[in-house]
Structure 1
């Protein structure tokens, strides 16, 4: 063959038999090529080898076998290994694609301790969270399930060439913030006008930032020594320690420790601060006047921590017993963690209801009370006598009126109501009503004779 005559001495040593052995051993020819295509490729390679455009390399193994590779087609990586950042507890995967592998082997190695994880598809490590998959061609994938912080580091995809061919990928594991309860303040009890310090410790990766705020949005009572401007109002404080100034009762409430490292979710813990002080009672009105028959509510407001025992007493220092039919009723409304509103409601005021009432509050630090006097308010009423069974209601205006007699009979033998004429001269009981916004209240008074004028006080 003419194109062979110009070759050097070393190239002439290649026989057709050796060339065929080299070509037949080429593992890098894709299996999906048809027979004709594979033969065409082999023929071109024979020409390149014989002309010296490609040289061969012989590798000897311990068992005495050898493997010839075509120089210039050594194993190489098709893509770089990625650097991964995953959340703790999730899965991670590294994919290594090797071209022209031939008879070489692919290994996965952990860089930090040089431990071999897998060789080809054979697992070496006994960590059940690790596995390797091969697609049957040129791709090896390392899977890590339920990633933990112990998995952080570099991973090597290595081919056993001489020297080794390697590439690295790093695994970074992020951990959501978590508050350490044992190193964080629980609910705090402080005497009024005393300082306090709250603590909150959090963990996670990256290290989380800790911030404080009040749950109700009120400014934080920060100790003045930590403020540039003593008059400055602080709504958010950053740091594991929250230095609180001498506390007033208004400082009672929930304080939130919030930890965040940009890895969802954000976590928080509520720390209750109870500023203890003895009760103080105030009365909305200490003198209340009302006429007979109306409904009335008297009110007291109480500030106290711990939560006080709230009671109503009358002038004789007897605790008020609620009426079984609901004519006297009391209720308590919680305004804030330390503030309460007491209400005593009396329906259809009677003579015995006009007296002094004490609203009292007491806790372990002391007691307080206020006196509210309920007095009767006079009103003039024009009353006329009439039989008790002859009356009709008046419209619900805000005044006192009388029930007038019915005078004329109707076709059914009944009586039609009227506002005219003189009342009958019969002895009777007198019915009056007090009509107001609370409803209509009926009262009975003694009859004093025809056409008499009487006052109801």
Structure 2
């Protein structure tokens, strides 16, 4: 019996399918219709921060045992062969989390690692995929080219320099701490590596901060302490002080300077601290402001010859200043008042046994305050 095509489709269909499978298997075995290896995804450039790990992806489809995969640098220098590292750089390795992936890992990336890397397949002709590695470098302030702590004199011109490098090139901003606690700071000047301060005053002293910022963390800062030296300034809370003979009193002056040098009270050209009679006692008191001190003079059992002019003198290597006040006999003043009065006047004690606070700078004894706040002699 001869079977004609189409007479029994139920019999021919399975046979044709089986024959087709055999033929296709034979063709694939002999690579007649085998797909050639190709890259699975387009090239993706990589950007990392120096010190991180860079992952350069290479996905290959239809790879067979007859084909090789290599990574090279831009000059064609061989880095890896299949999954094996060729060069003596332990930072490099080929990682294959999936069968089709041949990713090149570079750990602890250096800025010198930047550039082009090539993933190649040994086809004829070879196929390759280029991956560009960009390396960012956090800001770095170069100490040898940046300003250190400085000491200048009032009136000088100061140039502060903050030299920084990084990729991309960082911008420099300048700040100044508002107090010695260095908790708050204010922005000063304009952006740039150089900050110039003309005609420096004592108020310009303090801690300056330059901050380098390129958008790559972390930012870097540098503190520069500026010390401004200036001559002393002497201030007298009062230009005149009255007291009764036989009593004692205190004279005081405020001295602002940096640095502090010599401070003393003198009368008739004589340094009273050198007096050995026990009548005079000179003491120095600190204040909350380290550039201001109080110089106190204690005079015991005042006699007529103790009345007169007393001068507070201060000097340092920058300059000097002095102010003079008058100690007068208060009893004469009171006697004059009683002679012009019809009825007797009870005079209260002129001096107390305690300090009388004056402003916030320290105590003085009962003084006639001058309207001249600059402490000039009147």
Same fold (TM over 0.5): yes
TM range (shorter): 0.5 to 0.7
Residue 257 (structure 1) aligned to one of 210, 227, 231: 210
Higher gyration radius (CA):
1
- Residue number among 265, 268, 287 corresponding to 1:333 in the alignment: 287
The structural deviation recorded for 1:124 is 1.0
Q: What are the Cα deviations for residues 151-199 of structure 1, in whole angstroms up to 9, with x where unaligned?
A: 1112222221223233233222111111112222234444443434332
Contact 1:174–1:263 at 8 Å: present in 2 too?
Answer: yes
Between the aligned partners of 1:345 and 1:94, the Cα distance in structure 2 is 80
Report the CA distance between 1:119 and its aligned residue: 0.8
TM-score scaled by structure 2?
0.66
Specify the alignment match of 1:99 in structure 2. Answer: 61
Structure 1 residues 113-142: Cα deviation after superposition (integer angstroms, max 9, x where no partner): 222211111111111211223357333232
Q: Confirm or deny that 1:303 pairs with 2:276.
A: no
Q: RMSD over aligned Cα, in angstroms?
A: 4.1
Name the SS for the 1:178 alignment partner. Answer: strand
Distance 2:127 2:315 in 1: 83
- Provide the rounded CA distance (Å) in 1 between the counterparts of 2:249 and 2:17: 113
Alpha-carbon distance in structure 2 between the residues aligned to 1:272 and 1:159:
60
Structure 2: gaps (5+ residues) = 6-15, 180-186, 276-280, 335-347, 357-378
User: 1:209: how far off?
Assistant: 1.0
Aligned counterparts of 1:436 and 1:189: Cα–Cα separation in 2: 42
Aligned equivalent of 2:343: none
- C-alpha separation between the residues in 2 aligned to 1:376 and 1:71? 125
Q: Which residue of 1 aligns with 2:10?
A: none
Contact 1:186 1:271 in 2 (8 A): yes
Alpha-carbon distance, 1:293 to partner: 8.6
Please say if 1:162 is aligned against 2:124. yes
| Offset, 1:299 | 3.8
Contact 1:333 1:342 in 2 (8 A): yes
Task: Confirm or deny that 1:268 pairs with 2:221.
Answer: yes
Aligned to 1:50: 23
Match of 2:271 in 1: 317
Work out the CA distance in 2 between the residues paired with 1:206 and 1:142: 25
Greater relative contact order, per chain length (Cα 8 Å cut-off, separation 6+) = 2
Distance 2:119 2:209 in 1: 47
Distance 2:288 2:282 in 1: 21
Match status 1:351 vs 2:301 = yes
Unaligned runs of 5+ in 1: 6-42, 57-66, 218-233, 322-326, 381-398, 401-432, 439-457
| Length, aligned pairs only | 310
Q: Is the 8 A contact 2:265 2:297 kept in 1?
A: no
Q: Is the 8 A contact 2:247 2:302 kept in 1?
A: no
* Structure 2 Cα separation of the partners of residues 290 and 131 of structure 1: 93
- Among 220, 228, 236, the alignment partner of 2:189 is 236
Per the TM alignment, residue 357 of structure 1 is displaced from its structure 2 partner at its CA by 5.3
